[in-house]
Amino acid sequence: MTWILIAAFIVAFLVYQLSISTLFSPLARIPGPKIFALTKFKLAYEDYKGTRTRKINALHQQYGPVVRIGPSELTFNSTSALRAIYGAGRGFERTGFYHMFEVYGRKNMFSFATAKQHGERKKLFTHAYAKSVMLKGQNAEMVEQKVKLYMDLLERDGRKSEIFATLHYFSLDTITEFLYGYFGKTACLEGLGQDRALIGDITDTARRKLSWYAVHFPHFTEWLYSRTGLSGCIAKWLYPMQLPTTYSGIRVPKSIFFALNPFCMEPVRSNSPRTKGSWTARWVA
């Protein structure tokens, strides 16, 4: 009798969900495959295969400029929709997808959900990235030096060069010297292996799998990486990406990190000419 009641409850729940998704949802009249309207995991499966973009493009060709691709998700294929959603001053918020880019539980410019939060943070340091600042003085000299190192690297490599990697070397070296100064910069262009390995971490194919788990199973992923002791040894076999991962918020769950490092962020005034007057962050071990 108990199993019959459980089965009946499951069937009733599924019928309820199907009815809500296909008949009574505000998105019910939007065209699209019914299977996508019923569950987000059909699109998640396309994500896992790496065919999401091609699949969505095919759906637009079949159903038109507006397609329902999830119980609460639409995709648009028009410049007017692009301006309405992503244009300056629009009120649309970012989804939970961006939570994975938080740095040890702290939001940043890339992970803020609202335009208000993004704008308030941007005002604090927008002057440091202004075009007028970057094109003069030591900033311009530093960029010119990196360009020269990059050209030297291409010449050393001979007639063939792996541009994808070398351009990443140039970008990483330039950004880290601008942000962290001489003692915090990387030296990929000069051939330092440990710095070049950072690019390897970012382009690791396991990173895409980790991203997939972080987006579609965020709580399970955080729980999995927080296991210690015997359960931690078992959990390692289930890791989407072995430690250290490329996302700090997954690498160390924020609750654990802040419990161990209550003063992990200490603001200090930089003495570097390139960053003088702007606030930087110093990690305290």
Q: Is residue 143 domain-resident?
A: yes
Is 92 a residue whose pLDDT tops 60?
yes
> In total, how many domains does the chain have?
2
- Domain final residue pick, 30, 65, 92: 92
Share of the chain above pLDDT 90, in %: 27
What would the mean pLDDT of 33-51 be, rounded to a whole number? 91
pLDDT digits (tens, 9 = 90+) for 185-228: 999 999 998 888 888 877 788 888 888 998 889 889 889 988 98
Instruction: Sort 221 into a burial class: Cβ within 10 Å, 0-12 / 13-18 / 19+.
Output: buried
Q: Which residues lie below 8 Å from residue 104, measured CB to CB, with a gap of 6+?
A: 248, 249, 252, 254, 257, 258, 264
Residues 7 and 88 in one domain: yes
Q: Is residue 102 domain-resident?
A: no
Alpha carbon distance, N-terminus to C-terminus of the chain: 59
* Separation between Cα atoms, residue 111 and residue 95, nearest integer Å: 9
Going by DSSP bridges, is the β-strand pair 279-283/265-269 parallel, antiparallel, or unpaired? Answer: antiparallel
Residues 82 and 140 in one domain: no
Determine the pLDDT at residue 186: 93
Picking from 61, 42, 62, the residue whose alpha carbon sits closest to that of residue 52 is 42
Determine the pLDDT at residue 283: 35
Residues 155 and 81 in one domain: no
CB atoms within 10 A of CB 185: 19
Phi, psi for 225 (deg, rounded to 5):
-80, -5
pLDDT digits (tens, 9 = 90+) for 146-165: 999 999 999 887 777 788 88
Determine the pLDDT at residue 41: 92
- Domain final residue pick, 177, 203, 229: 203
* 8 Å CB contact between 105 and 137: no
CA distances from 253 to 113, 201, 257, 280 (A): 20, 19, 6, 23
Q: Is residue 279 domain-resident?
A: no
Q: Is residue 189 domain-resident?
A: yes
Q: Is residue 248 domain-resident?
A: no
Determine the pLDDT at residue 16: 65
Domain carrying residue 162: 130-203
What mean pLDDT value characterizes the chain? 81
Is 254 a residue whose pLDDT tops 60?
no
User: What is the CB-side half-sphere exposure of residue 274 using CA atoms within 13 A?
Assistant: 20
What is the pTM for the complete model shown? Answer: 0.67
Q: Is residue 242 domain-resident?
A: no
Q: Is residue 16 domain-resident?
A: yes
> Can you tell me which residue has the tokens 């330039």?
174
* 8 Å CB contact between 215 and 100: yes
Residues 87 and 6 in one domain: yes
Q: Is residue 113 domain-resident?
A: no
Is 178 a residue whose pLDDT tops 60?
yes
Is 252 a residue whose pLDDT tops 70?
no
- Domain final residue pick, 168, 203, 238: 203
